[in-house]
Amino acid sequence: MIFNTLEKPLFYDVEVLTKRKETDNSYTYGFTFIKNQIVTKLEFVPGQFNLLDIPGLGLYKSTIVSNPKKTDIFQHTIHYAVKNSIEYKIIEKLMEGTVIKVAGPFGNGWAKSNLHGKNLLVIAGGLGFRSARPMLDYIEHRRVLFNEVEVLYTVKTPKDFLYSYDYERWKNAKIDMKLIVENIPFSANTSNVQYKKGLIVSLLRDMKSSNEDTMVLISGSEMMIKFTINFLFRKQFSEKQIYVSLDYLLNKPDSNWVALNGPIFTLEQIKSWLI
């Protein structure tokens, strides 16, 4: 979008086309632009976010989670941790046919030219997979630009996996998906997703990726990100090889710097703040 900045956003009317339940507390919304507007498509880089203006609730920053190749419809996944939170109210408010205003895309993304011709190691924890999903779609459609691609994804329970319906498609594109679950309830249904039980450290110890000619993309909670970076340092990965998403801070007080300068950063940019 031309002349569109976070300080002076240009809003356009969009309609909720679809509402899909991902987990008990997460919903993915598909949006399309209302006709007869200057903007009819959303072209974005994986990792960027939009600014949603929701009637009665105000502004909310949300990572774009859709396939960047499909520009006529874009998606956002909203997750609530507690009732009466802004996220819970958004989920209650947005139904199929609801019209809101959206500005974007904003921020830095994952897709950098220096990733081409490299091995990629994508490490995501929980909701951090929202940022990773469009990048995996990007890789799938440009598979010849990348060498080996390994994905390590950790969640608390089997019900917390996001976008499990996409995993087989990515596997068919020779993206190595490795999943792990911290806790497996006795009644867990394991029919459609293959995973192992354990912590992220188990995936890190068993990963195929080495520090040779590999770039790392990390997205998750602050604790998970810090632990992963320290592990990679012990494996001789350098700061220049590591990109980090801080999108979990987009709506936190006093974190506007993340929206203005990120949410994707090189580790060199944020090492003094993060570690």
Q: How far is CA 90 from the centre of its chain?
A: 19
Give the rounded percent of residues in the chain with a pLDDT score beyond 90.
88
Q: Which helix (H) or strand (E) holds 131?
A: helix 129-141
Tell me yes or no: is domain 113-274 CATH 3.40.50.80: yes
Q: What is the pLDDT of residue 1?
A: 44
Q: Which stretch of 106-120, 189-203, 226-240 has the lowest confidence by average pLDDT?
A: 189-203
SS3 assignment, position 142: coil
Q: What is the pLDDT of residue 187?
A: 63
* Residue whose token pair is 């029919």: 191
Question: What class has domain 12-106?
Answer: mainly beta
Q: Which helix (H) or strand (E) holds 137?
A: helix 129-141
How many whole angstroms separate alpha carbon 223 and alpha carbon 205? 18
- The per-residue pLDDT for range 88-97, each reduced to its tens digit, is 999 999 999 9
Mean pLDDT of 39-61: 96
How many whole angstroms separate alpha carbon 112 and alpha carbon 221? 23
| CB neighbour list of residue 223: distance below 8 Å, 6 or more residues apart | none
How many whole angstroms separate alpha carbon 74 and alpha carbon 156? 27
Q: Tokens for 187, please give them.
A: 């009644």
Domain range list for the chain: 12-106, 113-274
Summary mean pLDDT of the chain: 94
Give the rounded percent of residues in the chain with a pLDDT score beyond 70.
97
| CB neighbour list of residue 108: distance below 8 Å, 6 or more residues apart | 45, 47, 48, 261, 262, 263, 264, 265
Mean pLDDT of 18-35: 97
- The per-residue pLDDT for range 162-216, each reduced to its tens digit, is 999 999 999 999 999 999 999 887 665 555 788 999 999 999 999 999 999 999 9
| CB neighbour list of residue 133: distance below 8 Å, 6 or more residues apart | 65, 162, 163, 166
139: nearest Cα among 93, 176, 170: 170
How many whole angstroms separate alpha carbon 47 and alpha carbon 109? 4
